[in-house]
A and B are shown apart, each in its own frame.
Chain A
């Protein structure tokens, strides 16, 4: 990202910035000024403020009072907080691999010589444009234990039919299911990267007698691994922040309300939302936000560290 590719200069001994004109610098900063302000006002600034707030008690009406590490020590004794972590982790652990494998598989099936590609794409993509508020409402029917289209065939075949949203153990898998329904974006992204692999690679492999499976593991998978990696990162980050579907199905603004039977739908974001906007405990909620942020940051960092082992970047791919 750091290297700047500019045309070779006539004065090679000068450093780059010494060759830059004042006019260009001024306009450069002017053009990016709104974005830089946005970066400070809505990203970097709030991150720092959020950390500061996490050491205070603050209801917006009264001045914040410094409470040191109180919020953090209280969090670790808060059963609901621990519950919300369990719920969220369960979701992440199921959803991330399921989403990536499923989206990749669908994309793989759609790639190559296939008729009616735009019809397939549309079919699989359309659910993604349904707003998440509506999607949640629709799946309340879809996962209905008696009338839903998922359980009916299961029952007809005599298979065990879970009670989905009515069963605490099945609530997280239900939410996973709902999220998988709007997987279209990932499918389209994977599809584009798989079809982007040059045909000549496969032709060469065929000449060498490599079968379909070998072609997949030695060509398709490595050449799309950088996209898989990027999708992995984004999916992990987003899956920690599930909110809308759980809120629509189980959320309520009433104080002391329960998120689903046995709080089985108390996702981290839901609990944080309740603390900040229901109970006005902004310091407490900020501590929650910061711990989540740290977790996600550490996870992302670890994933980036592992990428040398399995992510393949084409040689000469300029990373600027």
Chain B
């Protein structure tokens, strides 16, 4: 029984990782050695130059900066606004609170499809097409899953701590900033990781809103390297940019594996 189990996990695991290795190794290949069998795991010729040339062929640096910029500001926004809302929902009692919260949480099940066009129209009326605003501003209005996760955590913080601060005359915003936020660091790390990865890997929204090449994110750059778009066989460059895109997330995963996994697990738990 156990033998079968380990065999399956190893076999399957290798199958899962194979494409991953191929991605990285292909980024060092020439177009001619990409589609061959058996695959060249160690490319011959080994082209480090791909990583230099790609910067001349397409604006990788620019796209990296754009992606970092969008990811940073969108993630900061969603964490700040969600933490505020989560505190309100978790700790303050007022009329309409629970109804609002259920309504907010139910939008997790609302397909993005149905809101996509009106939001696009709104932003194009504001003249925000070909700017980063449509990819950043909405995140400053909270995200339901982030709010939910932070709320669950805030509820575990002992009430006494807050009560003590109240007696010392601290206002609600001060309690939020000086009592709740410092205590909630683990939860904030977990939700931040999720937000960073989500925004970093985003594709559909950048595709809709960013048309100028100089505004491209890395994901859009990968897309533009497709044969359909470029008319050239740039698969090796596509793999270079993909690798450049994966590496930061990979580093984040290995640096904060526990928080990373915890975050994913929490998104799957029903309230």
Which residues of chain A come closer than 8 Å to B42, judged between CB atoms? none
Q: Mark A242-258, 1 if CB is under 8 A from B, else 0.
A: 01100110011000000
Which residues of chain A come closer than 8 Å to B94, judged between CB atoms? 17, 20, 24-25, 28-29
The answer to whether A34 touches B141 (Cβ under 8 A) is: yes
Chain B interface helix/strand/loop/mixed: helix
Which residues of chain B come closer than 8 Å to A226, judged between CB atoms? 270
* Size of B's binding interface in residues, CB under 8 A: 94
The answer to whether A296 touches B141 (Cβ under 8 A) is: no
Is A81 in the interface zone, CB < 8 Å from B? Answer: no
Is A241 in the interface zone, CB < 8 Å from B? Answer: yes
Which residues of chain B come closer than 8 Å to A2, judged between CB atoms? 98, 102
The answer to whether A42 touches B115 (Cβ under 8 A) is: yes
Q: Mark B238-271, 1 if CB is under 8 A from A, else 0.
A: 1100100110011001000100010011011111
Is B116 in the interface zone, CB < 8 Å from A? Answer: yes
The answer to whether B34 touches A141 (Cβ under 8 A) is: yes
Which residues of chain B come closer than 8 Å to A10, judged between CB atoms? none
- Partner of B141 from A23, A37, A109 at Cβ < 8 Å: A37
Chain A residue nearest in CB terms to B139: A38
* Size of A's binding interface in residues, CB under 8 A: 103
Q: What is the CB-to-nearest-CB distance from A233 to chain B, in angstroms, rounded to a whole number?
A: 7
The answer to whether A43 touches B115 (Cβ under 8 A) is: yes
Taking CB atoms and an 8 Å cut-off, the chain A residues in 1-60 that contact chain B are 1-2, 4, 6, 16-17, 20, 23-25, 27-32, 34-39, 41-47, 49-50, 53, 58, 60
Bound-complex Cα distance A37 to B85 (A) = 11
The answer to whether A181 touches B19 (Cβ under 8 A) is: yes
Bound-complex Cα distance A110 to B9 (A) = 8
Residues in B lying within 8 Å of A, measured CB to CB: 5, 8-9, 12-14, 16-20, 22-23, 26, 34-39, 81-82, 84-85, 87-89, 92-95, 97-98, 100-104, 107, 109-122, 124, 138, 140-142, 147, 172-173, 176, 197, 200-201, 203-204, 207-208, 218-219, 222-223, 226, 228-229, 235, 238-239, 242, 245-246, 249-250, 253, 257, 261, 264-265, 267-271
Known: A24-B93, A129-B249, A133-B219. 13 other contacts (CB 8 A): A1-B98, A29-B88, A32-B88, A49-B121, A53-B118, A144-B35, A181-B19, A189-B269, A248-B223, A276-B117, A289-B113, A289-B116, A293-B113
